[in-house]
Amino acid sequence: MGVTSKLTGLFARSRRTVPDRPLPGAAVAEIEDLRLRLGDREVLSGIGLTAVAGEVLALVGPNGAGKSSLLAALAADLPATSGTVRIDGRPVGDWSAPDLALRRSVLPQSAALSFPFPVADVVRMGRAPWAGTAFADADDDEVTAAMAATEVTHFARRPFSALSGGERARVALARVLAQRAPLLLLDEPTAALDLRHQELVLRICRERAAAGDAVVVVLHDLGLAAAYADRAAVLHDGRIAADGVPSEVFRDELLSRVYRQPVEVFPHPRTGAPLVVPLREPARPEADDRRAGVSADPDLTRA
C-alpha cells in the first residue's frame, strides 16, 4: 500500500465534521493576547490578529521578528504559552488533528521527503483529510487544478527528490492548494522561486482570497506584500508594530526603524502600490567609470 493510500485510510477511519465555507469578511482565525516562549526566550508577546475570509494578510518584518513562530502558532503547530488561538470559532486545541486538517493547510519554510515519491503522489497527499467525506470525489480535479496552477504538471512523474529547490517549493505549494482548506497559511512561499514564479504564487494567493479563503503569508519581499496583500502586519521583536493596508503601513520611518536600515517608500508610477527600497548614497563618478572599465586618469583618456 502506498503512502497516499495509508494517509487516506487513516483519515477515512476518523469521524469529522466537514466545515461550511466561511462567509465573506468572516473571521476564519483569531489570535488574542498570544504569548509564546521557546526555551528561555519570549518570541511573541501580546499578539492580537485576525485572518478574514476573502483577504490576503502578509506577515512582514526582519529576521527573528517572530513571523514564522506566529504562523506556526496560528496553525496549532506551536502551542501558545498563554492567550487564545481560534480557528473556525473554536480554540485550536479543541479540534482533533483530522478536523483541523479540513480547516487549515500549512506550507512550512522547507519541504523535505525521505523517499523519492513521484510529484503527483506528493500533491495527492494534500487530499488525505477529505477521505471518507462527500468531497473525496473531487480529489482528481483538485490535484489536477493545483498542479496546473503551480506549473508542475509537466513533471508529475518525476521523483520529488530529483527536483530543484524552486521546483520542490512549487510542488509543496500544490499539495497545500489541493488540500483546499478555507485557511491557507504559507511561510515564505517565494523564497526559493524565480521572478516569474514569485508573481505566480502571489496571484494564486489573490485567487484563493477571491474564492473566499483566508490567506496568511509570510513574506520578505515588501514589494510583493504591497502589490498583492489586502493587509500587512509588521512584526518587530515579537510584537506587531503596525497592522493595516500596505499603503498606510509601509512608511519610511516605521520600516527604517523596524529593519534598522534606512529605506524610502514611494508609489509605483503605474499602480500606485508602495515601493520600498534601501536608502543608498549616490554613486561617485569615479566608481561609475571603474564599473564601465574607463580610467579616471586624464593622461590615459586624452585623445
- Residues forming beta bridges with residue 86, ordered by sequence position: 30, 91
Strand (E) or helix (H) holding 189: none
pLDDT, position 282: 81
The three-state secondary structure class of 264 is strand
Q: What is the percentage of the chain residues whose pLDDT exceeds 70?
A: 89
pLDDT, position 300: 47
pLDDT digits (tens, 9 = 90+) for 206-216: 999 999 999 99
Q: How many Cβ atoms are within 10 Å of 73's Cβ, its own excluded?
A: 25
Q: What values do phi and psi take at 175, rounded to 5?
A: -60, -45
- Residues forming beta bridges with residue 41, ordered by sequence position: 38
For cell 572599465, name the residue: 293
Give Cα separations from 88 to 29, 43, 136, 154, 232 (angstroms): 6, 25, 21, 36, 22
Give Cα separations from 185 to 58, 88, 129, 285 (angstroms): 10, 14, 16, 47
pLDDT band at 299 (very low <50, low <70, confident <90, very high): low
pLDDT digits (tens, 9 = 90+) for 88-137: 999 999 999 999 999 999 999 887 777 789 999 999 999 999 998 989 99
Q: What is the pTM of this model?
A: 0.88
Task: Say if CB 171 and CB 111 are below 8 A apart.
Answer: yes
User: Cell numbers of 274, please?
Assistant: 508602495
Structural domains present in the chain: 3-301 (3.40.50.300)
Q: If you average pLDDT over residues 270-275, what whole number do you get? A: 94
Q: What values do phi and psi take at 276, rounded to 5?
A: -115, 120
pLDDT digits (tens, 9 = 90+) for 217-235: 999 999 999 999 999 999 9
pLDDT, position 127: 96
The secondary structure of residue 98, as a DSSP letter, is H
Q: If you average pLDDT over residues 261-280, what whole number do you get? A: 94
- The residues, any chain, with a CB within 8 Å of residue 3's CB and separated by 6 or more, are 115, 117, 121, 125
pLDDT, position 263: 96
pLDDT digits (tens, 9 = 90+) for 246-259: 999 999 999 999 99
If 0-12 CB within 10 Å is exposed, 13-18 middle and 19+ buried, where does residue 298 land? exposed
d(CA 95, CA 86): 10
pLDDT, position 2: 55
Mean pLDDT of the chain: 90
pLDDT, position 232: 98
Q: If you average pLDDT over residues 264-277, what whole number do you get? A: 94
pLDDT, position 147: 98
Q: How many Cβ atoms are within 10 Å of 130's Cβ, its own excluded?
A: 25
What residue type is 262 in one-letter code? P
pLDDT at residue 303 is higher than 50: no
d(CA 189, CA 168): 11
User: Cell numbers of 82, please?
Assistant: 498563554
pLDDT digits (tens, 9 = 90+) for 28-85: 999 999 999 998 899 999 999 999 999 999 999 999 999 999 999 999 999 999 999 9
Q: Which alpha helices (H) appear in the chain, and where do they start and end? A: 3-12, 67-74, 97-101, 119-124, 139-149, 165-179, 195-210, 222-228, 246-249, 252-259, 285-291, 298-301
Higher pLDDT, 194 or 15: 194
